[in-house]
Structure 1
Amino acid sequence: MGYDSDVRRTTAAPAPGKYLDELRELAVRKVRSTGRPVAHLARNLGIHKETLRCWVRQAEADAGERDDRLTSSELGALKQLRQENAELRRGKEILKAASVLFTQELDPPDEAEQVIDHLRDGFGVDPPCRVLDLSPSTYFARKTRPKSTRRLRDEELIPLVTAVWEDSGRTYGGRRVTRTLVRAGHAVACCTVERLMRELGIEGVIRGRRRRTTIPEPAAPRPPDLVNRQFTAERPNRLWLADLSYIRTWTGWVYVAFVLDAY
């Protein structure tokens, strides 16, 4: 009788948030100490008998009395690993979905916003922001606040700057683009044009600038000089020479490889 009243007294007024833990500890302790049938104790406690039986088995595993179940600490670690694995898979899917936009021409000042807009239907806002190291609050703020005066002015100038640059054969830099726009009646500063060109990823051709394409590594192994710098041959097919070079074109750098017979 004392046992039943103890059970009723424990389950009648549980502390908020601790009902399940206290009930589980009490039930398992009574099963292990009294040996009473699980079904009887479960009925007295108002829980399903299979739930109590599972609690008892888990307590036995934690005590090292059975090896057919993982301990609570092992189950917790396994759960954490599964969550981390799920996060990694979702991060991979987000990056894969975002890579579609990386090959497109986006508006540089709004790149982050455009990427999240593309991903939010499938992943929401917080997961892509977490993977791409962006702030959700910043994204929502940009979506709700009106465009600034500078941004509105930039949107007017961007097509003008791009048109002048294209008409020049993509050769004009910031100063020439500015002079062309001023002559056309557009009041714009050179620093503004240069900033917009940087955001758009465009630039003019600069004469005399050389790009260093080969940087030797001192620690890298070097092949031996088998001909001792004597690049001559007495007959064909005895010594071949090969090299790489690069040529600047309107569309970018072109690399050329050639192979010659030293004869």
Structure 2
Amino acid sequence: MSNKRYNEDFKRTIVDLYNSGSSVKDLSSEYGVTEVTIYKWIKDFSPNQQSGSEGATSKDVEEMQKEMARLKEENEILKKGYDHIRQKVDNTELTEFIKEQKDEHTIKAICDALDFPRSTYYETINRVESNRDKENRELLDQITQIHKNSKKRYGAPKIHAVLINKGYKVSLKRVQRLMRKEGIKSIVRKKYRPYPNREKVVERENLLKQDFSTTFVNQKWVTDITYIDTVKDGWCYLASVMDLHTHKIVGYSFSKTMTTDLVIKAVKNAYDTQKPGNGLILHSDLGTQYTSDDFKRFLRYKGIKQSFSRKGCPYDNAHIESFHATLKKEEVNHVKYLDFKSAEIALFRFIESWYNRTRIHGSLEFLTPQHVEDLAKQSA
């Protein structure tokens, strides 16, 4: 319990629930937080009547006092070390800083604080900007916007691809250099790996045999299940179905239980949306949900051929496992879902809006899965 970490929104939500009438005991039982911790949050996030600032909590006051002490210490350090630091900062960098701050403070005040002559500032800003500097500035604006639009999920290769598609003539190394200088990088988190199943597994027929080649949509699908943790509802389960031609998630289902119904619903959603013809191969691992009689009957009814990975050989299902790893690194590992419903909405947004229709894929020549599907149908 002591190793759990909670973000500010979670803490404030617990305090709001307490203020709305929920008891500390009930909140502790429902959300798995100790009563002592909840009482501490109530103290931290309740208004402090003695603070002299309306609406300020004890935690706010404590944080303000810490910040004031920190700023005072930093100011003393900067005064002592400024002469040494100033030798490493050129006039252009100081000028850019002053330009950024001139709407907040007077130029005289900034120059005095930095011990920087105003005449030097005006002389520097009146110089003609070099073509290279101008290009770098424009490129950096584009890079920053692309990175922001991707919710910080894109690294240099994908940002470079977007710039090329926009008509910019720029090398990957230049993009990497600009990103490194500005501290722009992709967010990455390792995914959770559950304990492997120790039960005896019976081998089944493998039709895919690591042949991922396709000529059109709805020829080969792969499917798998992954785990999603929530605060209130514990572990929930996402079953996903991917088309190997487009890498699009054509169907999925989210549930509080990992049952055969979960995987049937995911495939049914894919079938109803894609309406595949005869001969479709659906590949999965040897999980009990996929080897169940109910699932096999459902596939036979739909005319879908079933294929299975060999025991201990995950390569046939690498594409769908890669999707689940991406889901964890780019979305799940960065948030704490309060309950099943909040996780369901987040997964919907990630799959439907981001992954299928917005996120470019290096393996698809930096196109989106939906774009690849549209192109395939147009050429049919």
TM-score normalized by the length of structure 2: 0.23
Higher-RCO chain (CA-CA 8 Å, sequence separation at least 6): 2
TM-score normalized by the length of structure 1: 0.32
